[in-house]
Structure 1
Amino acid sequence: MSFKNSRAERSTITRDTVDLESETGNIYETIAILSKRANKINVDLKEELTQKLQEFASSTDNLEEIFENREQIEISRFYERLPKPAAMAIDELERGKLFVKSIEE
């Protein structure tokens, strides 16, 4: 999934719990599902960021390289500006891209 094109809110907004629970019928189940999805998004983002920053890793760091590495700073700033993983998970649920599979007893 491309997190760069996420339409999720970048700041906190008020949500109607009735709309959130419409998929499952239970707000607590919805929150548990959103929590699991947000954790997965967070892990994916962290892996992607770590992979991109590995390109800049070197065994010999000198002081000049640390302060002059603008590309690394820009990559870090980009990831800091992305919406929070919880907001991305809620956005996926609202747009119908998060599928909920219920296990019946």
Structure 2
Amino acid sequence: MSARALDVEKIQDTTGNLYESIVIMAKRSRQIAAREKMELDEKLRYFEGFEEEDEFSFNEEQERISKEYEAKSHPVVRGVGEFLDNKVAYRYPDNQ
């Protein structure tokens, strides 16, 4: 993951508050990471409990699935990108 500069003014303009924007981006990034972890765990769970007779082909398939997820950009990069592209919906909790 490479570091890149972000326009703080653009981030702040979206919500009017820089810190609120950062919290929104962080929460979206965590959502993306959690969803992908569940998907990966679900795909790899298929391989649990198989006998060792065909272990080589199963290892290749597990490796292919893992590399597919490793090739994706980091959830933080995608979360920030979605926020900057105005693709993230957010709301404030009701004050009761």
Please list, as runs of the form range in 1=range in 2, the aligned pairs for 1:3-42 lying within 5 A after superposition. 11-42=2-33
Report the TM-score, using the length of structure 1 for normalisation: 0.76
Q: Which residue of 1 aligns with 2:49?
A: 58
Question: 1:101 offset after TM fit, Å?
Answer: 2.0
Residues 54-87 of structure 1, C-alpha deviation per residue, up to 9 Å, x if partnerless?
Answer: 1112254x39715862111011011111111111
Q: Identity, % of aligned pairs?
A: 31
Q: Distance in 2 between matches of 1:19 and 1:101?
A: 19
With over 3 angstroms needed to count, the CA separation of the structure-2 counterparts of 1:59 and 1:15, relative to structure 1, is: same
Aligned residues: 95
Report the TM-score, using the length of structure 2 for normalisation: 0.82
Paired residue for 1:95, among 81, 85, 91?
85
Structure with greater helix share of residues: 2
The answer to whether the 8 A contact 1:23-1:100 is kept is no
| Divergent runs of 4+, >4 A | none
